[in-house]
Chains A and B, each alone.
Chain A
């Protein structure tokens, strides 16, 4: 699978320019993460110092892993079917861009702002926790290994969500359906996150390595799989 960096870059830059010209896109992207932020913040700020030891490793941070699962779904769900409905997909498909390049550019354009939003929310959480939580609670929450896991898992989860949503967008004929289905795809990740938070699934190093490896593999094959679903002819001619 050979890719032309210029093709990917051109489409990626176009997407970012589009976001820049429409501030609402990124503004609304930040809404869901801020909603998710509320629960762990209340959890941390309301906890007395004596209860710091009751924390499971990284509990509040784990909840925040729902952000990379949900945030990119709107952008990625819109990626193909949205362009198609706007009538801008056909001119792009008449150029030498390969489907693998187009899909990659779309994925990157959803990934970068999603990661930015996620990391800004994490930073906000860490800062508020450091400043306003009981010092003992803050120390229990802000463990370097936990933060590191957070930083590593965020792009892996976001990318998986993006591949699933672009796959839906590629096969869907209605942007509304694609975006709604895209939002639903984040729910399994949220479920796992909450099961870990409420100790139904014990958070262990082995679990983290296992999930991390699985995400890496899925993200790796995601590009190829989604590219194979991208069918120029169907996208140009199909109306159903």
Chain B
């Protein structure tokens, strides 16, 4: 995508690139997802996280007009999500499904030519060349897709999704089943798209992937459990803590930590290791260091405890599991 196009998209378009309001999909009695509400701005990379069966793919299919929502409303690339707008929406978006779904007997270029035709792109050859270059596959254009590795097929699938310079790009589990090297290649490609200002809706259950690539994330487990920047979610769910380690256990840690206003509480994990809940780590760390030195402690380390997105994810999913267990035992 050219810089001019990025500017055109981000500058001229008003309103969100994607929004959902109480969106829900049920298959008979089974709820695929419900109460899903969010707004995504143009140029944003939005991570949609959740365990298997959480409703991520169904949400993408719903927003991509492949299936109709049971209730709620949404706008996709500036258009209301209605059956009448299906063709217009699909013209403005691109979906990379979890399985590449390539025609294996056809070459890479033939696959892309087919989809360039399906988008009725006027300058198909240039776009195909650009897409192939973007995914580093220009040299494999004439190879049959059936002879490509899984990672390369995923790249072809991504090139296919790039053909129409979509306003919103849906990537459904783009690294599913890939080895770490191939996954990293796909990450680099997505990162490149992010830098170019492409609006991306990324579904994944790889948390490090979301943490690395996404501006904001939403956590879905049939219902939307949390939404925000990864750092915000960490702060919402976890207290700010310092991990203190001394060579010899403190004779009276309560005297050292208890008198400090910046420390809200403390606990000893193993001999010589302490976890301090603090109001602000940047204020508390120097104060704690000085207090330890004044108490004559041999300090090994003082570190800010780093909670990952995985911690957030597990915390929320565990809550759901516990709630489900309690409901089941009642």
Docked Cα-Cα span, A13 to B102, in Å, equals 15
By a CB distance below 8 angstroms, the chain A residues around B88 are 96
Q: Is the CB of A22 within 8 A of B105?
A: yes
**Given that A94-B95, A96-B91 are contacting pairs, would A7 and B102 also be in contact in the complex, using a CB cutoff of 8 Å?**
no
By a CB distance below 8 angstroms, the chain A residues around B118 are 7, 10-11, 92, 95-97
**Given that A9-B117, A91-B115 are contacting pairs, would A233 and B66 also be in contact in the complex, using a CB cutoff of 8 Å?**
yes
Q: Is B87 an interface residue (CB 8 A)?
A: yes
Docked Cα-Cα span, A90 to B97, in Å, equals 8
Q: Is A14 an interface residue (CB 8 A)?
A: yes
**Given that A14-B106, A18-B106 are contacting pairs, would A233 and B117 also be in contact in the complex, using a CB cutoff of 8 Å?**
no
Q: Is A232 an interface residue (CB 8 A)?
A: yes
Q: Is B237 an interface residue (CB 8 A)?
A: no
By a CB distance below 8 angstroms, the chain A residues around B114 are 10-11, 13-14
By a CB distance below 8 angstroms, the chain A residues around B68 are 233
Q: Is the CB of A91 within 8 A of B101?
A: yes
Interface string of B93-137 (1 = CB under 8 A from A): 111010111110110001001111111100000000000000000
**Given that A18-B106, A22-B105, A237-B27 are contacting pairs, would A98 and B87 also be in contact in the complex, using a CB cutoff of 8 Å?**
yes
**Closest A residue by C-beta to B120:** A6
**Closest B residue by C-beta to A235:** B66
Docked Cα-Cα span, A237 to B101, in Å, equals 16
Q: Is B64 an interface residue (CB 8 A)?
A: yes
Q: Is A224 an interface residue (CB 8 A)?
A: no
B165 to chain A minimum Cβ distance, whole angstroms, is 14
Which residues of chain B in 65-107 are interfacial with respect to chain A, using CB atoms and an 8 Å cutoff? Answer: 66-68, 87-88, 90-91, 93-95, 97, 99-103, 105-106
Q: Is the CB of B101 within 8 A of A88?
A: yes
A204 to chain B minimum Cβ distance, whole angstroms, is 46
Which residues of chain B in 46-68 are interfacial with respect to chain A, using CB atoms and an 8 Å cutoff? Answer: 58, 61, 64, 66-68
Q: Is the CB of A96 within 8 A of B90?
A: yes
Docked Cα-Cα span, A96 to B106, in Å, equals 21
Q: Is the CB of A14 within 8 A of B110?
A: yes
Q: Is B249 an interface residue (CB 8 A)?
A: no
Q: Is A52 an interface residue (CB 8 A)?
A: no
**Closest B residue by C-beta to A8:** B117
A90 contact from B66, B87, B90, B105, Cβ within 8 A: B66
**Given that A7-B120, A10-B118 are contacting pairs, would A21 and B87 also be in contact in the complex, using a CB cutoff of 8 Å?**
no
Q: Is B160 an interface residue (CB 8 A)?
A: yes
Interface string of A203-236 (1 = CB under 8 A from B): 0000000000000000000000000000011001
A161 to chain B minimum Cβ distance, whole angstroms, is 25
By a CB distance below 8 angstroms, the chain A residues around B87 are 96, 98
By a CB distance below 8 angstroms, the chain B residues around A93 are 66
Interface string of A122-152 (1 = CB under 8 A from B): 0000000000000000000000000000000
Which residues of chain A in 47-104 are interfacial with respect to chain B, using CB atoms and an 8 Å cutoff? Answer: 86-98
By a CB distance below 8 angstroms, the chain B residues around A86 are 101
Interface size class of B (residues with CB under 8 A): 20 to 34
Q: Is the CB of A7 within 8 A of B117?
A: yes
B286 to chain A minimum Cβ distance, whole angstroms, is 54
Docked Cα-Cα span, A21 to B118, in Å, equals 21
Q: Is the CB of B144 within 8 A of A21?
A: yes
**Closest B residue by C-beta to A18:** B105
Q: Is the CB of A95 within 8 A of B110?
A: no
Most buried by B among A10, A11, A22, A97: A10
A111 to chain B minimum Cβ distance, whole angstroms, is 19
Q: Is the CB of A236 within 8 A of B105?
A: no
**Given that A9-B117, A17-B106, A95-B119 are contacting pairs, would A233 and B101 also be in contact in the complex, using a CB cutoff of 8 Å?**
no
Most buried by B among A11, A21, A88, A95: A95
A192 to chain B minimum Cβ distance, whole angstroms, is 37
By a CB distance below 8 angstroms, the chain B residues around A7 are 117-118, 120
Interface string of A9-48 (1 = CB under 8 A from B): 1110110011001100000000000000000000000000
Most buried by A among B99, B114, B144, B160: B114
By a CB distance below 8 angstroms, the chain B residues around A17 are 106, 110
**Closest A residue by C-beta to B68:** A233
By a CB distance below 8 angstroms, the chain B residues around A14 are 103, 106, 110, 114
By a CB distance below 8 angstroms, the chain B residues around A91 are 95, 97, 100-102, 115, 157, 160
B106 contact from A11, A21, A89, A233, Cβ within 8 A: A21
Docked Cα-Cα span, A236 to B68, in Å, equals 12
Q: Is the CB of A94 within 8 A of B97?
A: yes
Show 26 A/B contacts (Cβ-Cβ < 8 Å), sorted by A: A6-B117, A10-B117, A10-B118, A11-B117, A13-B113, A13-B117, A14-B106, A21-B106, A22-B105, A87-B100, A88-B103, A90-B97, A90-B99, A91-B100, A91-B101, A91-B157, A92-B118, A94-B93, A96-B87, A96-B90, A96-B118, A232-B66, A233-B66, A233-B68, A236-B66, A237-B67
Instruction: Using A10-B116, A91-B100, A237-B58 as known contacts, list a sample of 17 further A-B pairs with CB atoms less than 8 Å apart, ordered by residue number in A.
Output: A9-B117, A10-B114, A11-B114, A13-B113, A14-B110, A18-B105, A21-B105, A21-B144, A88-B101, A91-B95, A94-B95, A96-B87, A96-B88, A96-B90, A96-B118, A97-B118, A237-B27
The list of the 7 closest CB pairs from A to B, nearest first, reads A10-B117, A95-B118, A21-B105, A94-B95, A14-B114, A6-B120, A233-B67
